[in-house]
Amino acid sequence: ASSALQAAFRPPLAACVRSNSNRAAISHLHRQLYGRLYPVLLVSTDGSTVRLRYSEPKRILMLPLDSSTLPEAERKARLRRHFPSKPKAKEEETFEGIDLDTYKKFWKK
């Protein structure tokens, strides 16, 4: 009988979790400022990498590519990849060129 009483008065497992500033959400820590610096891999535009300490816990930072330094052909190719053209409208099929006698066997009598 005493074990049943202890089980009845035991708080649920979710109540044991501390809710303070160090509690992490499912996706990331919801903070404006972090108390330390974190090791991060910085990738520059030419592909070289540098390890540095960053204020947010991330794995990789990539520097944006400056399109004004690219040759004209490569810059246009990048723009085409980023903004593909709209798909062209297809022509509707007409039934004028179809011989109906070839499909006569599928009709119900």
**pLDDT tens across 79-92, in order?**
888 888 888 888 87
* Secondary-structure percent of the chain, ordered helix, strand, coil, rounded to 5: 30, 15, 55
In this prediction, residue 82 carries a pLDDT of 86
Predicted TM-score of the model (pTM): 0.39
* Sheet arrangement for strand 38-43: 49-54, 38-43, 60-62
pLDDT higher than threshold 60 for residue 75: yes
The band of 50, judged by pLDDT with boundaries at 50, 70 and 90, is very high
User: Is 5 in a helix, a strand, or coil?
Assistant: helix
- Alpha-carbon gap, residue 49 to 59, rounded angstroms: 12
**CA end-to-end distance (rounded Å), the chain:** 81
- 100: pLDDT confidence band, cut at 50, 70 and 90? confident
Q: Which two tokens stand for residue 57?
A: 């816990």
